[in-house]
C-alpha cells in the first residue's frame, strides 16, 4: 500500500528523532509499531495527532495551553507579533521538536505558533510530564538541557540580529537549519528539505523579503546554494561558513 494523500510519507515524520521518544515518553507508540513504515496497522493507531494546515496560526499569542505540543510532521515557526504589525520569527520548528520548553513551567504562550507547511502536532499533558520529571532524573535533565539549548539559540540570534550583516544572518540561518537536520540524519547527498519561503527567512533575520531575495540571488550567482522544489542544496559549504564568520 502506498501512502494516502492525507498522510505524509514516513520520511517526513519527526518521530525517529523526536525528543519525547528519546525520553521514552512515547512507548505506547513504539509498542504499537509506530516506527514501521506506513501501513494499515499504523493507521489504526489511536490518532491523538492534531493536523494543521499550511500557513495557519496553530496557537495564538497569549493562548493558554494545558500541555506541551510537539511537532510530529511539517514545519512551523514561533513568532512574535508586534503592535506595529511587524513580525519576528524566534525559532524555526522542525519535525520532532518541542514547541517551547517554557510550556513545561508556564501555561501561557507569549508568542504565536504559525505553520509553514501542513503537518501535525501531538499534545503532551503537562501534569503527566511534570510527574515524569520528578520521578526520573534522566528525563528532568534532558528536558532542562533542551531548555538550555533553546536559550542558547535565542542568545545567538540576539547577537546575530544586533551585530551581523544581512549576508551573515542569512548564511547562518541556512547553516543552522542544515546542522539541525544533519544531526538527525536528514541530509541526503548535499541537500535538505527546505520548505521555508523567503518571507520566513526575512522574518527570521529581521530583514525585508525584497532584500532577502537580493541576497539569496547573490548566493545563487556565486554558486553557493541552489533552491529547487522546496529543497536546499549547499554547493560550497566552506564559503558559506566564511560568510557566516
Contact residues for DNA (CB under 7 A)? 53-55, 118, 165-167, 197-199, 206-211, 213-214, 216-217, 229-230
In 3D space, the residue among 1, 124, 109, 2 whose CA is nearest the CA of residue 57 turns out to be 109
Q: With contact defined as beta carbons under 8 Å apart, do 244 and 169 qualify?
A: no
Please compute, for residue 87, the number of CA atoms within 13 A of its CA located in the half-sphere on the CB side. 17
Q: Does 150 bind a copy of itself (CB under 8 A)?
A: yes
Q: With contact defined as beta carbons under 8 Å apart, do 37 and 62 qualify?
A: no
Q: How far is the CB of 185 from a copy of itself (least distance, A)?
A: 25
For a copy of itself, the closer of residues 6 and 163 by Cβ is 163
Q: With contact defined as beta carbons under 8 Å apart, do 46 and 28 qualify?
A: no
Quick one: how far is CA 190 from the chain centroid? Answer: 20
What track of x and - describes contact with a copy of itself for positions 68 through 107 (by CB under 8 A)? Answer: ------------x-xxx-xxx-x-----------x-xxx-
Cα separation of 109 and 117, whole Å?
21
Q: How far is the CB of 163 from a copy of itself (least distance, A)?
A: 4
**Partner from DNA, a copy of itself, none binding residue 13, C-beta < 5-8 Å depending on class:** none
For a copy of itself, the closer of residues 54 and 159 by Cβ is 159
Q: How far is the CB of 126 from a copy of itself (least distance, A)?
A: 13
- Residues 4-43 binding a copy of itself (CB under 8 A) are none
Strands (E), the chain: 50-52, 57-59, 67-73, 76-81, 87-93, 112-115, 119-125, 191-193, 225-228, 231-234
Q: Grid coordinates representing 76?
A: 512551523
Q: Does 206 bind a copy of itself (CB under 8 A)?
A: yes
Q: List residues near a copy of itself by CB under 8 A.
A: 80, 82-84, 86-88, 90, 102, 104-106, 110-111, 141, 144-145, 147-148, 150-152, 154-159, 161-164, 205-206, 245
Amino acid at each position: 500500500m502506498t501512502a494516502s494523500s492525507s498522510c505524509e510519507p514516513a520520511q517526513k515524520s519527526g518521530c525517529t528523532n523526536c525528543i519525547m521518544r528519546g525520553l521514552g515518553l512515547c512507548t505506547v507508540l513504539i509498542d504499537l509499531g509506530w516506527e514501521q513504515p506506513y501501513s494499515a496497522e499504523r493507521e489504526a493507531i489511536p490518532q491523538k495527532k492534531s493536523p494543521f494546515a499550511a500557513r495557519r496560526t496553530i496557537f495564538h499569542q497569549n493562548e493558554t495551553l494545558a500541555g506541551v505540543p510537539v511537532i510530529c510532521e511539517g514545519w512551523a515557526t514561533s513568532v512574535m507579533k508586534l503592535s506595529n504589525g511587524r513580525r519576528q520569527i524566534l525559532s524555526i520548528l522542525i519535525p520532532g521538536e518541542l514547541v517551547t520548553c517554557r510550556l513545561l513551567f508556564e501555561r501561557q504562550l507569549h508568542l504565536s505558533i504559525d505553520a509553514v507547511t501542513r503537518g501535525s502536532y501531538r499534545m503532551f499533558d503537562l501534569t503527566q510530564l511534570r510527574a515524569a520529571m520528578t520521578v526520573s532524573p534522566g528525563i528532568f535533565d534532558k528536558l532542562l538541557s533542551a531548555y538550555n539549548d533553546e536559550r542558547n539559540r535565542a542568545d545567538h540570534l540576539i547577537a546575530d540580529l544586533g551585530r551581523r550583516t544581512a549576508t551573515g544572518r542569512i548564511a547562518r540561518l541556512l547553516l543552522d537549519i542544515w546542522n539541525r537536520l544533519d544531526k538527525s540524519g536528514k541530509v541526503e547527498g548535499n541537500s535538505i528539505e527546505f520548505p521555508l519561503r523567503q518571507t520566513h527567512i526575512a522574518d527570521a533575520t529581521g530583514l525585508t523579503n525584497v532584500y532577502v531575495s537580493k541576497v539569496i540571488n547573490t548566493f545563487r550567482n556565486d554558486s553557493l546554494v541552489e533552491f529547487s522544489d522546496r529543497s536546499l542544496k549547499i554547493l560550497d559549504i566552506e564559503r558559506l561558513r566564511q560568510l557566516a564568520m
